[in-house]
Structure 1
Amino acid sequence: MDETLHIASLVVHCHPEQLDAVRANLARLPDLELHQSSDAGKQVVVLEARDEGAILERLHTIQQLPGVLGAALIYHELLDASGEAR
């Protein structure tokens, strides 16, 4: 059984006046951590998933949230069951 964990970092850009609402919507998504945000409406989020397909689905979901101007994958890493990078 493959115990690979995919870690992905995204930058999500939204309308600044909708920052709080977008952050609230992001916080509702599973396996997602909110990190930094700016008053200009840019946010850094980290996703965890078991495969690339789940990362892409979550990225698409984020891109469709109200107020989101765009979301871009910035970093992707694979970790094995021991936590070592693959």
Structure 2
Amino acid sequence: MIRRLLCGAALLACGASQALELNEATEAQLDGLRGLGPSSTARILQAREAGPFKSWADFMTRVKGIKPATATKFSAQGLTVQGATYTPESK
């Protein structure tokens, strides 16, 4: 819990507009995103071991539970895939 608070505080200090690249994010950085818990983070890291995510569509296909609504929320928090933010057209 303390780790999540510290990660959240660090993200706020960096500014909400600070981009966080999914293919480079650490476990702590991912845990700092609202809506991601330890099990979701573990699924993301496990899927990433097979290779980097090529797009938001690739991310949503390979990680159970990631749908357009959650992708929109993560993108609004600064998460990017290959430098791109999520838009419904980027499916």
**TM-score in same-fold range (> 0.5):** no
Pair member with larger Rg: 1
Higher fraction of strand: 1
- Choose between structure 1 and 2 for higher RCO, CA contacts under 8 A separated by at least 6 residues: 1
Higher fraction of helix: 2
